[in-house]
Chain A
Amino acid sequence: MMKLRLGRVALLFCVMLMYGISRSASVPSKDTLLGVAPEDEKYYKGWSSSGTIKCKDGSKKFSKSQFNDDFCDCPDGSDEPGTSACPNGKFYCKNAGHVPLFLYSSRVNDGLCDCCDGSDEYDGKIRCPNTCWEAGKVARDKLQKKITTYKEGVIMRRREIEQAKLAIAREEAELSKLKDEEKILKGLVQQLKEHKEQIDKAEEKELLQKEKEELERKEHEESKLKESKAEDNTEIIGEPEKNDIYDKDALEDNHKTVGDPEISDHTNRVEQVKEDSLQDTEQKEGDFIVDGKAGPDTGNQEKHVLEDTESLSREELGRRVASRWTGEMTEQQSKEVDTSKDNDPQNHEEKLEDSHDEEYNGYDSEDVEQRYDDDDDREDQMEECGEEDHDDSSSSYKPESDDESHLSDITSINSQTWLEKLRQTARTIFQTVNIFQTPVDISDVARVRKEYDESSSKLSKIQSRISSLTQKLKYDFGMEKEFYPFYGQCFETKQNKYVYKICPFKQATQMEGHSTTRLGSWEKFEESYGIMLFSNGDHCWNGPDRSLKIKLRCGLKNEVTDIGEPSRCEYVALLSTPAVCVEDKLKELEVKLGMMNKELPQGHDEL
């Protein structure tokens, strides 16, 4: 053992000696395999009997004297690993104490220290101190730190994956259960419906009968009054029509109609309505082209932008012309144009989807919570999220309230109970209520109706839950579902005046005060789950639609950093998350650290 160590020290000494020599000499000795990697040493010792070696690409041969002689003989640079002669060459620096490095041969003797051991600068024009030990230590410490992070991250990731898998399984179970229930409930609802319809029919019949009697009874009386009532009738017919218009109007222009005291007179009002509705359609047509919000106003603005610079003030003109290059002024305009996107069919779809979402939300957050607030699972979920959500300064990790409730599980154990109850009630109804009996029992009728209403609303809720679950489970949560916890989460970070909010599987936005710019909608993962891509964000004036690329890095908490805009409206950011702390990478890092430690001159401490 002792001997071995001594040997190593001697070897190191030798290396240093050679190093010293080579540094002082302007051209390195041919025997030193300058710039050659250890794995290639054998290759460069394989001189043929004629004293030549083939270039690595086989194109030519070179002799011993041509090796590292500062003239490029091999197109692939293999005869000049230690000089700058071949543009395609690579120089190997040993960097004992740090990691070895391949340099472009153009870095050799260029007056800049590239290798920490200084071996790339040997022509005497510059002295490069050996900084490998210090640099290596920094690098090793950094790597060690990274490994520590990875180790912890791997565990967190594993845990999250397990939970995700459970949650998914649960959701899948729920889904299939819900589908079963849906089936049953559908049948039930159908039966109740039939029942109800029969009751309705019976009732109607009864009513008709009654009416008939009543009619007969009052016939002559009524015929007397008929003529005098005629006018009132028209009034009644007119009324709902007016209301209709009024409502529409109110939607478009509250200010004008609602609470306008002048509108009391009948004819007056009709006129007003007409005018408004005219304007309305006009506006709509305008909107279709330019803007949903500002109609004629935008038109005017547009007109200015469009050229008529003559009537502008000097300052306006200056700004206007400047904006051709910068797009700044017209940004406003483009924002407005953006809102007009509501008018294109795609956006309509989006809008619909959105409102659909809201429906789910309403369902989830109100009804479900109220009805099943003894639901344990849901609380558990919340706690789990809370655990990770240790707020930090710049970046926060928030469950998005509306989506979060998707996670709540309506199929709890007692679901069986409510369905059973429902069935039972129905059964009793079917048994007790005799629909063929006339007159129908009033309380029976109410029961049937109530049951029908309740079941059909339950059915529709179940159906929407099914569709939301189906949609969620369709997302790509990664090879091991490691990104499942991202669903329904948003990450926020503040940078200068902007707050960025990134909601994986949904969208990313940039907020400045009250104005929000969409950076993109969720598109997909890229580069084998190394990047999250949001695309088709708000349009940029004179530029592309905004987009955001988020690079994922292993970290112990979900944290967004380094948001930037390298090209206009193309954003990039970094998200550190345990979700990408994969074991393979950890192993790789450990091997690397092992290598680095092995490269250490063992006797360093002694020296």
Chain B
Amino acid sequence: MKLYAILLFLFFINSVFSWKKDEFRNCNQTPFCKRARSRKPGACSLIATDVSISDGDLTAKLIPKDKVQENLDNQEIPIVKPLVLAISAYQDGVLRLKIDEDQSLSPRKKRFEVPDVIVPEFLNKKLWLQKLKSEKSEDGLGILSVIYLSDGYEGVIRHDPFEVFVRESGKNGKKVLSLNSNGLFDFEQLREKKEENEDWEERFRSHTDTRPYGPQSISFDVAFYDADFVYGIPEHATSLALKPTRGPGVEDSEPYRLFNLDVFEYIADSPFGLYGSIPFMISHGKSRGSSGFFWLNAAEMQIDVLGTGWNDEFSSVLMLPSDQKRVDTLWMSEAGVVDAFFFVGPGPKDVVRQYASVTGTPAMPQLFAIAYHQCRWNYRDEEDVYNVDAKFDEHDIPYDVLWLDIEHTDGKRYFTWDRLLFPNPEEMQKKLAAKGRHMVTIVDPHIKRDESYYIHKEASQKGYYVRDATGKDFDGWCWPGSSSYLDVANPEIRSWWAEKFSYENYVGSTPSLYIWNDMNEPSVFNGPEVSMPRDALHHDDVEHRELHNAYGYYFHMATSDGLVKRGDGKDRPFVLSRAIFPGSQRYGAIWTGDNSAEWDHLRVSVPMVLTLGLTGISFSGADVGGFFGNPDTELLVRWYQVGAYYPFFRGHAHHDTKRREPWLFGERNTQLMREAIHTRYMFLPYFYTLFREANMSGVPVVRPLWMEFPDDEQTFSNDEAFLVGNSLLVQGIYTEKAKHISVYLPGDQSWYDVRTGTAYKGGVTHKLEASEDSVPAFQRAGTILPRKDRFRRSSTQMENDPYTLVIALNSSQAAEGWLYVDDGKSFEFQRGAYIHRHFIYSDGKLSSYSNMASAGFGKFASECMVERIILLGFSPGTKKALIEPANEKMDIELGPLLLQGGLGSSVLTIRKPNVRVTDDWTIKIL
């Protein structure tokens, strides 16, 4: 009786708090993490010798100070082999530090360096270092070797104790970033077993990791100077400003874990690792600005953010500047090498640009991809697809993409169709395409082990699968049951995989079909931590532990390449991935995985998307409505209102949930969700312009407030509001039945409510009434927003629709904004086939200039007119406008700010100025 009661109780607990915490290793169960965390500051005894310049790099050797390291715990054999260090400088303030074993001493194995992440152009930006400057350290006790990094910044290596840092130029230049200032650097070199019976195996639950190469972890501390907060290192469901994980007053916490995992029902505030890993951290502080640190390493990583005072008891042994505010961090990785990048900033946008110069800027998506996506596990059959499609039209709700999850396949064999449910997939796609709509099917990396399945047959014959520790094709369990996993770390296998997407090979695909890569962490249901064993073997005998976090990235890359090939290089690919690694931004969108239909998941989606944006992944979003569970109607509506501003905007649901298409909750809620989706379509021109900006500069579409207001301390930890570009501030509503909502509006300029046109003062927290109609959104004074106010079935039909420009004047009666337009589909924009307009309002006139960087060969033409110009912040007496060059006088009248919604606020409007977006023109306000 008791037993049953307990079991039942457990069952209950399980179904309520379903996160299977025990299935995942914590730091204490992870030997390298436990070891690294227990090291004391100053424990590192390495010194740099043989510091010189060679091949344009600064090189050095790291050896223990006393040659033979004293071992307190008596467990490690003293390592006397020197490590090789190289520091290079790149344009735009990027310092690269590499530390590896000395290859000339023939180590047991070449340690893994992650290929195909750094963009080739970056390598061309290397500064060929010529000379080295030696100087005495400030305390006079050590020698520093100094190199030029960029104007105003220098790279420095301190010889004893070894430390690498970036400082502002000059002997007493302030430190910006440093490595090993706390003496926590440790590098476990590969070695033979000390004794026969030395046990290298690691066991976790029922799994054993053979660890044939023994311990090989690396750890070190990184300090960010003049920083108030650090950000980045996704993917975690947690706040934007990273909370300390150790230090005085910090509750015992796990480090931030970077290990791509398929976490069932993750919880909304935790440092545990999710689906993606980007070891890139940004610091920001009021006094100096931003800096960044990136460690290119694909093994499991754990990162501690150390709270101020964490090392107080060791302050005597450390030589840290006391006059600079600092955030210390500890970085630990299971394997690989040190390949680290220091970004000097000093502005937040500088740091993301510098990071993007290494890993690439986000790909330019097609226009349809940034519109609304409708997904569900699963739209059952063709009839279901047609019904849902028709209902959107019936309710006048636009959407661009309908998605098919795993059930569309024949027995989870990707590239196949369940012909009972989808007898005519081409016809289905064509019917939707006729309305300008697209479809997406899912293709995962696990391949059903079925001899009659052509992909499996080929892959097993060619030896294209990841092997287990014994050398056999690894066999794991996923959706199809027994499955093997493609070794996408191998470029040959990637290009084979890419061919599978051709129209001939993917039977039933058409040009309007795009792809979704799920489960690419990889998810292995019966593997350790629901993933692949670390001792599994890839191409070139690389162990899975060494590249785990990049596996999904390579898969995403191969799929994206496949779509490019499919379209003869003329059609921009769209591939959504769940796993992430630095560089993923070049291959498509990502989403935050299997979230839950709960208010705190809506809340945490904002810092998650902001963090991804900061670390290069601009095109991201969370499942609107929450994947698991049934959202309350109010939550669903709010999610649409916030989600309409996510860069990637998709509604999705688990197959156990009730249907939740926007028209299923009564007329009023249909209207609210329609308006939310309309808002997205209205701002599509602005979003598209921002995606192009991200594509050019790496600056994300959706930004934390401090990115645009780096001096406003109040914004530094604000992650409930966010900026879309520089012009639009959105404040989410994350609670049920909210009556009021507090919004902090940064800066000293006003903000205009996008629905009412009401002006609110900047630099103030406003307590506003919460409206069920929308979440608060404001246009920043001094900006010009392009809109399209006609709502069509999909973005495709909006192509020729006229624009509305909304000018919001700042206190000096000026404003500016941009508009980017191209064909929305092809790569022609790379050859100059686009228009990029810069609208400037000053001295009483609005002018449209071309913002083309250089005249390309391509040409893009648009017939689009500007149908309406709305003037916010103008004196009410404004009556007339003169349009040049047409030399036409127009009346300025009162018109609605928004056509939808019927709020009836009238604002100054220039009606039909009849100017084309492609042309240069000027409108004088008289």
Contacts and interface: CB of A to CB of B under 8 A. Distances in A.
Contacts of A316: 526
A541 B7 CA distance: 17
Contacts of A325: 264, 594, 654
A309 B14 CA distance: 14
Contacts of A566: 380, 384, 659
A125 B899 contact: no
Interface string B429-468: 0000011100000000000000000000000000000000
A568 B899 contact: no
A317 B533 CA distance: 14
Interface string B1-38: 10111011011001100101011000000000000000
A286 B265 CA distance: 30
B8 A86 contact: no
B911 interface: yes
Interface in B768-799: 789-793, 797
Contacts of A326: 655
Contacts of A72: 789, 899
Contact of A318 (B526, B867, B896): B526
B792 A110 contact: yes
B7 A321 contact: no
A267 interface: no
A318 B206 contact: no
Contacts of A541: 656
A302 interface: yes
A601 interface: no
B900 A302 contact: no
Interface string A543-581: 110000000000000000000111110100000000000
A27 to B, nearest CB: 13
Given A71-B868, A125-B800, A299 B654 contact: no
A472 B801 CA distance: 63
Interface in A521-561: 540-544
Interface in A43-88: 59, 69-73, 75, 84-88
A138 to B, nearest CB: 18
A48 B103 CA distance: 93
Nearest to A306: B10
A11 interface: no
Contacts of B264: 321, 324-325
A222 interface: no
Interface string B868-907: 1000000000000000000000000001100110101000
A573 to B, nearest CB: 14
Interface stretch (B148-156, B364-372, B472-480, B745-753): B472-480
A215 interface: no
Contact of A567 (B3, B658, B912): B658
A360 B175 CA distance: 92
A128 interface: no
B508 interface: no
A535 to B, nearest CB: 14
A397 to B, nearest CB: 25
B790 A568 contact: no
A568 B655 contact: yes
Interface in A67-119: 69-73, 75, 84-88, 104, 106-107, 110-112
Contacts of A586: none
B4 A322 contact: no
Contact of A84 (B5, B20, B790): B790
Nearest to A565: B380
B642 to A, nearest CB: 22
Given A87-B789, A106-B396, A289-B5, A322 B479 contact: yes
Interface residues of A, number: 58
Nearest to A302: B7
Given A299-B7, A317-B526, A324-B18, A88 B477 contact: no
B527 to A, nearest CB: 8
B214 interface: no
B477 A75 contact: no
Contacts of B904: 59, 75
A327 B396 CA distance: 35
Contacts of A14: none
A544 B530 contact: no
B905 to A, nearest CB: 11
A305 B11 contact: yes
Contacts of A233: none
A86 B790 CA distance: 7
Given A112-B434, A112-B435, A567-B657, A306 B14 contact: yes
A311 interface: yes
B525 interface: yes
A562 to B, nearest CB: 9
A540 B657 CA distance: 11
Interface string A274-314: 00000000100110011000000001001101110111101
Contacts of A282: 1
A351 B634 CA distance: 39
A392 interface: no
B481 interface: yes
B476 A318 contact: yes
B194 interface: no
B678 interface: yes
Contacts of B5: 289
B791 A286 contact: no
A319 interface: yes
A315 interface: yes
B205 interface: yes
Contact of B797 (A111, A299, A567): A111
B394 to A, nearest CB: 10
A544 B793 contact: no
Interface string B394-407: 00100000000000
B482 interface: yes
B4 A289 contact: yes
Given A106-B790, A543-B656, A568-B655, A88 B899 contact: yes
A542 B18 CA distance: 12
A75 B526 contact: no
Contacts of B658: 544, 567-568, 570
B248 to A, nearest CB: 36
B595 to A, nearest CB: 14
A86 B657 contact: no
B800 A322 contact: no
B477 A321 contact: yes
A568 B3 contact: no
A87 B899 contact: yes
A72 B747 CA distance: 35
Nearest to A83: B790
A309 B899 contact: no
Interface in B555-576: none
Contacts of B655: 326, 568
B865 to A, nearest CB: 9
Nearest to A543: B656
Interface string B232-259: 0000000000000000000000000000
Given A87-B790, A318-B481, 18 more contacts: A71-B912, A75-B902, A106-B790, A106-B791, A112-B436, A285-B1, A299-B4, A302-B8, A307-B10, A307-B20, A309-B206, A311-B206, A318-B477, A319-B481, A321-B530, A541-B656, A542-B656, A568-B655
Name the 10 nearest CB pairs between A and B, nearest first. A318-B477, A318-B526, A321-B525, A317-B526, A110-B797, A318-B525, A567-B659, A289-B4, A285-B1, A310-B206
29 contacts: A71-B867, A84-B790, A85-B867, A86-B899, A88-B900, A106-B792, A106-B797, A286-B1, A299-B4, A302-B8, A306-B7, A306-B14, A314-B477, A315-B477, A315-B482, A317-B477, A317-B525, A317-B526, A318-B477, A318-B482, A318-B524, A319-B481, A321-B477, A541-B656, A543-B657, A544-B658, A567-B659, A570-B658, A570-B659
Interface of A: 59, 69-73, 75, 84-88, 104, 106-107, 110-112, 125, 282, 285-286, 289-290, 299, 302-303, 305-307, 309-312, 314-322, 324-327, 540-544, 564-568, 570
